[in-house]
Structure 1
Amino acid sequence: MEDMTRGGWLEVEFIYPRDWTIAAESGGMAEAYMRIDSPKAPKIEIKWERIKKGAKIYPHTIVNNFIETYKKNAKRKTKVEILESGTLRVCDHKAVFTRWKAESEVITLAWICNEENKAFLLGYYLEPGEQWTDISSWLAPGIVCHTASEYWSYRLLGTEFKIRKGYWISKRTLMVGKVTLLFKNKDGASLLLHWSSFARELLAKHQDLVKWFRRDGPKEVKEVIKTVPGDKLKINEAGNEATFESKDSKGLIVRKVIHEALRMWHDQTNNRIFLTCYSGPESTFSDLELLEKSITVEIE
């Protein structure tokens, strides 16, 4: 489908029209939410919550509860008309949907992903002239809520990367031209990814990568590595990459090696500065290498 693009965010992958964008998102550990907008209006909302393994939660109950909550909370007593109900397949799961109408026509879709122990709720807002049979032909088959892969794919503003499963977004700053994402896992490891656009202009202003980092680099680095000695940031001869790395043993009885690393580089092709950072056990240091090798940029 030439007019479609694949997205990935907060442990869900999906497809949507190329001129739509992820306009809002939150959560990432026990629950998550995201909204995808067309140039004119909100179109898709996706929400998931982790559930206890074996919990008795049913898709039709989720859909009915959502519609009943809408009726209860509606500012105006708008009549709700149920137009259609049915089932379809989403990532090999049986999903239940209801097409209903209040002020506008809405599809509410729910399913349970036992592989990830999550309950999903999706809303699609139909515009006049749109047909659910056409929308469902690309929306449902494009959703990936579980995968046998060891990582999740993320895609934002034309930048795609992979994060090993087990990490969740702890903190984020999403701005045009400047993105910072901090991931953490239950074993105490932290992964940070940052990119800044207009790299040539930034480096002309700050002279080199190290000076850019000291003056304008992401403050979240200090949440991963408490102190980055300026004299230990090594910049290569070409001036397009700077690195810092250290190892330390902690623990009085059981000694654990903590590996810290910081890397920044000038992606001249895409005119961006990328920065990655890791702090955590030596055994999961390869998670940083996986992230760095997976970064790709596609300017749409």
Structure 2
Amino acid sequence: MTLSNPAIAACSSVLLIGAYFVDPNAVPFVAAGVAATWARILFKKTAIRTPPLDPKEYRKFKLVDKVVCSPNTAMYKFALPNEDDILNLPIGQHISIMANINGKEISRSYTPTSSSDDVGHFVLCIKAYPQGNISKMFSELVIGDTINARGPKGQFNYSANICREIGMIAGGTGLTPMLQIIRAIVKNPADKTIVNFIFANVTEEDIILKAELDLLSKKHPQFKVHYVLNTPPEGWTGGVGFVNADMIKKHMPKPASDIKVLLCGPPPMISAMSKITQDLGYDKVNAVSKLPDQIFKF
């Protein structure tokens, strides 16, 4: 059982009063014990704790749970060093995962699907690719294994009302940075940013966290999600095929100085979106995106 500070204070008073009536000579010793107890409590509260992440040094995090979402995608839950730690990753930033594979140090960047203020853990959604070194490493992890991670990293650091409207185009696990930004916007009543999200996948079963996206769209009128499938089921009413110019014109904000369009997905998709958006009058996508850019690729 854990006592609150007021409860501990009450117990301390009782101990001192009781000591006085039982043996006045014992009061100094009881007082010393009480003082030591309070010193430990205050030290614990004020001690500077090392943040879970370091931007330069890789640190180890233990896998504590794994949930398979589809034949090639899974959610990996990692414990933070202390059960009351939070990752505290800035919105729009990511972490770097490093592994030694065949004698070479290889790193890849991922954005957690968990919120940055979730306590005691973080979650990564990883899609395994046949030729993917890091993603293959993830698929072979078992509970108790560790990964090497550092961060935060990235050029995009979201703040409320950064622009009037944000358009998002993502494919597969490219959802993850978008989800962090969407959550930050809808849970902040002061943030009036409008968000339209085109989310492309192969099949309906590949749509990651669809239930959460649908619920957010239903509860928050400022956010809308538009699904696109390469192989849709019978009766599908969403988009079909690859994301194209017509879809962008229909769902994305018109080119303007107070909008942004965010891109995240497989390289061929990003290449295609970069060309289409430029053809539609948006700014050219820079090789390395910066926060002020109209079109930002993660």
Q: TM-score range by the shorter chain?
A: under 0.3
- For normalisation by structure 2, the TM-score amounts to 0.24
Structure number, greater radius of gyration:
2
Q: Which has the higher strand share?
A: 1
